[in-house]
Amino acid sequence: MSIPSSSGSSVNRILELIQGLLHIETSDGFMLFWAKEILGALLIVALFWMLSQLVVMILNKWGKRLTSFTSTDLDDRIMERAVPYVSRLFFILGVYLAIRSMPLNEKLVNIASGLLYIILVVIVFKLIYDALNDLINWYVAGQQETSRAAMSRQMLPVAEKIVSLFLMATALIIILKHFSYDIFSLVTALGIGSLAIGLAAKDTLANMISGFTLMLDRPFRIGDRIQLSGGQIGDVADIGLRSTKIKTLDNQLLVIPNSDLCNTMLINQAFPDNRAKGRINIGVSYGSDVERVKELLVTTAREVDEVLVDPLPESYFTSFGDSSLNMALFFWVEDYARLFAVTDKINTLIIRRFKEHEIEIPFPTRTVIMEKEQPICPTE
């Protein structure tokens, strides 16, 4: 093949570079030789691509028939996930064999083979991750609405992260071992580095450990209303690895580190169930008929539809105050979230009923008696 003189020098340099890389001698049949080799490699890739499509067709046809015999949809999900990955694996195998079929430099073949091996490992572990992820989600979705199911839903993000980190570490070790890296030296170095990072991030690690403790011990669930030792009240919005988010009654988001939450006292208003007990303290004037007041308080509470009849409302004469007889009304509501609203309704009715029955709610009063000063020495 003749080369024009104007570009002959540059083409010769390129040919010399390719010739040195491929270990072949330049001849008139050079282009024909490589056209034949490249065409053969492309045919191998095309053959494996067609084979992959055939396998996909078989899996789609017969795989669905096999999974239809089971009552669960887990195998359907895994089969649907696996089909695209099988196609990719066949294609990569075809590319690998095509490269091996060509008379390339051994170093170039090793580099290409290494890259294909990395891609192969990534695809396999991505398939494993997706299958395990489907398994975890299927298990959680199949549970009934119980405390165990709620715990599983809270642990789901943590389980996904743990599985992801484990598979990534395993894939990295397999790849490094394939390229003959010293795994033990790497693990030792990572251990020393992890120790340094752990000392620098001990607070973060403490919060993460506390997060696991909260998820396992489960003093509260997402959606529960809790009262902290500082008096803050709110609904649990999220339980994370580092912190817990609480939505207060003022519609503000309170973020508390898990380590602080594990070391504080709190009241969970949603345990053991959503029922809540309300209390209203009220004073009536001295001289009031105590039995009549107690009966009127109970009757007033029962007028509100949201007050439970089992257990019934109860009223008690609790103490003698400075200016009043102190009474207490106890009642139950079905949902703790409605306690404030029900208390408001009962208070409004109590004032109305007391006015109708001429029962006085006294103001705190003090009587001050001023004595007239007597002279020390009487005057004559």
- Rounded to whole angstroms, the Cα distance separating 190 from 61 reads 47
Q: The domain spanning residue 262 has which CATH number?
A: 2.30.30.60
In a domain, 23, yes or no: yes
- The answer to whether the beta carbons of residues 315 and 263 sit under 8 Å apart is no
Question: Does the residue 169 lie in any domain?
Answer: yes
Note whether residue 351 is domain-resident.
yes
Banded pLDDT at 8 (limits 50, 70, 90): very low
Determine, yes or no, domain membership for 96.
yes
282 and 264 inside one domain: no
Residue 120 and residue 55 share a domain? yes
DSSP bridge pairs for 228: 266
Q: In terms of domains, do 33 and 145 share one?
A: yes
3-class SS string, 231-279: CCEEEEEEECCCEEEEEECCCCEEEEEHHHHHCCCEEECCCCCCCEEEE
**Residue 340 sits in a domain of what CATH number?**
3.30.70.100
Quick one: residue 247, left, alpha or beta (phi over 0 = left, psi -120 to 50 = alpha)? Answer: beta
Rounded to the nearest 5°, which phi and psi values hold at 92? Answer: -65, -40
Looking at the domain assignment, is residue 79 inside a domain? Answer: yes
Q: Is the pTM of this model over 0.85?
A: no
Task: Give the contacts of 290 (CB within 8 A, at least 6 positions apart).
Answer: 317, 325, 327
54-75 pLDDT per residue, tens: 887 877 777 667 766 676 766 6
Domain identity same for 155 and 289: no
The answer to whether 201 and 191 have CB atoms below 8 angstroms apart is no
Residue 166 and residue 242 in one domain: no
Compute the distance between CA of residue 151 and CA of residue 221 in angstroms, rounded to an integer: 8
Residue 196 lies in a domain: no
Residues 246, 328: one domain? no
Rounded to a whole number of angstroms, the distance between the first and last alpha carbons of the chain is 153
Specify the pLDDT at position 255.
92
Q: What is the pLDDT of residues 275-293, one digit of tens each?
A: 999 999 999 999 899 999 9
The number of beta carbons lying within 10 Å of the beta carbon of residue 308 is 14
Same domain, 127 and 239: no
Confidence of residue 121 (pLDDT cuts 50, 70, 90): confident
| 155 Cβ neighbours under 8 A, 6+ residues apart | 215
Whole domain around residue 171: which residue ranges?
8-187
Query: For residue range 179-224, what is the model confidence (pLDDT) as tens digits?
Result: 777 667 666 666 666 665 655 556 677 777 777 777 777 788 888 8
In a domain, 125, yes or no: yes
Say how far apart CA 143 and CA 139 lie, in whole Å. Answer: 7
pLDDT at 323: 86
Count of the separate structural domains present in the chain: 3
- Provide the pLDDT for residue 334: 92
Cα 247 versus chain centre, distance:
17
Least confident of 11-15, 77-81, 136-140, 221-225: 11-15
Helices (H) and strands (E) in the chain, counts: 11, 8
Closest CA to 353 of 315, 312, 308: 315
128/182 Cα distance (integer angstroms): 26
Tell me, yes or no, whether 170 and 22 share the same domain: yes
* Whether 20 and 109 share a structural domain: yes
Spatial separation of the C-alpha atoms in residues 221 and 254, rounded to whole Å:
16
Tell whether 88 and 182 lie within a shared domain.
yes
Structure tokens at 291: 């039995």
373 belongs to a structural domain: no
Q: Same domain for 93 and 130?
A: yes
For residues 255 and 282, state if they share a domain: no
